[in-house]
């Protein structure tokens, strides 16, 4: 398949994979409690100012009760279930208000929840008709006694949760990619446009962790390519890692972007904005690499 331009639409479902479009495909809103209470207008006006044509809102959906053991953290991770209808109603109103100025796509950043897939299934079953985008992400891995812990909370929490339990950083990395593979399988039948979220999120705290085996990461990432291609799932070229001091990398390596382009896997830039000033963050980083 011929790939044109610098921003592939990733619209595998529509067969349109050669659209050049300035698109921020992964963003959050006031419905995120580790984010910012700013109204949507502040995000969207900035996107228009920066010349974006499409803007996907992909909020964290509710999580199963007591998924993680810390009640304070639970409150910050995701909105309570009763707010999900308000989220869709609010975004639908905003979408209408911005028609003709900016295409606002409404979606969710679905979590892959190992052994709890039915929870996410239920959300998708209920809301799929009103979702244009699904970013599908692994944020959680099992730890001691089956307890679920975040991989992206803090470096100290990561060490405490995983290093001792798995025995080595490479075993954590391996298990992370096992979950990404299960996630692709889970996401395959989703009816809306879909992308794998920040595929290398396991690198978030790499500067504070024992060194990761880059060959292992490369092998595991390479192994995802045929699965993504077969499933028609795109890649969220999530640049948030560039603004994290313990990471300073995009969550999608350049060589992986290139491999995706060669194989016709859609790439969509994602700022992962949690506040208005992050909209469009490091878009040039993405555009330069996707063009070349």
Task: Please report, as ranges, the residues that interact with Zn ion according to CB under 5 A.
Answer: 137
The residue whose Cβ lies closest to Zn ion is 137
Burial 258-291 (b: 16+ CB within 10 A, else e): ebbbeebbbbbbbbbbeebebbbbbbeebeebbe
Q: How far is the CB of 111 from Zn ion (least distance, A)?
A: 8
Q: How far is the CB of 155 from Zn ion (least distance, A)?
A: 17
> Token pair of 235, please?
């890649």
Q: Report d(CA 284, CA 230) in Å as an integer.
A: 29
- Backbone dihedral angles phi then psi of residue 17, each to the nearest 5 degrees: -120, 15
Q: How far is the CB of 251 from Zn ion (least distance, A)?
A: 9
Supply the angle between the helices 283-291 and 254-263 in degrees, to the nearest 10.
Answer: 50
Q: Going by DSSP bridges, is the β-strand pair 140-142/54-59 parallel, antiparallel, or unpaired?
A: unpaired
By the 8 A CB rule, do 248 and 207 touch? yes
Judged by beta carbon, residue 29 or residue 137, the one nearer Zn ion is 137
Q: How far is the CB of 169 from Zn ion (least distance, A)?
A: 21
**Residues 6 or more apart whose Cβ sits within 8 Å of residue 275:** 35, 36, 38
Q: How far is the CB of 128 from Zn ion (least distance, A)?
A: 20
Judged by beta carbon, residue 56 or residue 137, the one nearer Zn ion is 137
Q: How far is the CB of 88 from Zn ion (least distance, A)?
A: 18
Judged by beta carbon, residue 32 or residue 94, the one nearer Zn ion is 32
| Ramachandran area for residue 239 (φ above 0: left; ψ -120 to 50: alpha; else beta) | alpha
> Token pair of 64, please?
């199963």
Judged by beta carbon, residue 40 or residue 137, the one nearer Zn ion is 137
The secondary structure of residue 211, as a DSSP letter, is: P
Q: How far is the CB of 152 from Zn ion (least distance, A)?
A: 7
Judged by beta carbon, residue 17 or residue 206, the one nearer Zn ion is 206
Judged by beta carbon, residue 17 or residue 63, the one nearer Zn ion is 63
Q: How far is the CB of 18 from Zn ion (least distance, A)?
A: 27
Judged by beta carbon, residue 6 or residue 139, the one nearer Zn ion is 139
Judged by beta carbon, residue 120 or residue 137, the one nearer Zn ion is 137
> Token pair of 218, please?
């490369």
- The residue among 126, 156, 172 whose CA lies nearest residue 246 is 156
Q: Report d(CA 267, CA 75) in Å as an integer.
A: 32
Q: Report d(CA 70, CA 123) in Å as an integer.
A: 23
């Amino acid at each position: 398949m011929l790939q044109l331009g610098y921003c592939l639409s990733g619209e595998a479902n529509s067969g349109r994979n050669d659209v050049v479009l300035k698109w921020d495909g992964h963003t959050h809103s006031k419905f995120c409690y580790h984010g910012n209470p700013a109204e949507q207008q502040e995000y969207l006006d900035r996107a228009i100012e920066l010349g974006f044509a499409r803007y996907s809102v992909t909020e964290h959906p509710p999580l199963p009760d007591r998924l993680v053991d810390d009640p304070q953290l639970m409150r910050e991770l995701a909105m309570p279930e009763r707010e999900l209808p308000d989220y869709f109603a609010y975004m639908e109103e905003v979408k209408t208000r911005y028609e003709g100025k900016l295409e606002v796509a409404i979606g969710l950043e679905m979590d892959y929840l190992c052994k709890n897939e039915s929870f996410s299934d239920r959300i998708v079953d209920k809301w799929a008709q009103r979702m244009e985008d699904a970013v599908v992400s692994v944020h959680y891995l099992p730890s001691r006694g089956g307890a679920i812990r975040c991989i992206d909370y803090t470096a100290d929490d990561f060490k405490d949760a995983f290093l001792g339990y798995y025995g080595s950083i490479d075993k954590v990395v391996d298990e992370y990619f096992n979950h990404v593979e299960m996630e692709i399988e889970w996401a395959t039948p989703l009816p809306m446009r879909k992308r794998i979220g920040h595929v290398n999120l396991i690198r978030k705290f790499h500067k504070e962790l024992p060194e990761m085996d880059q060959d292992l990461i490369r092998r595991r990432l390479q192994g995802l390519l045929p699965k993504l291609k077969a499933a028609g799932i795109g890649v969220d070229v999530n640049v948030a890692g560039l603004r994290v001091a313990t990471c300073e990398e995009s969550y999608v390596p350049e060589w992986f972007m290139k491999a995706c382009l060669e194989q016709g896997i859609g790439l969509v830039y994602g700022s992962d904005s949690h506040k208005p000033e992050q909209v469009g963050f490091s878009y040039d980083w993405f555009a330069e690499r996707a063009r070349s």
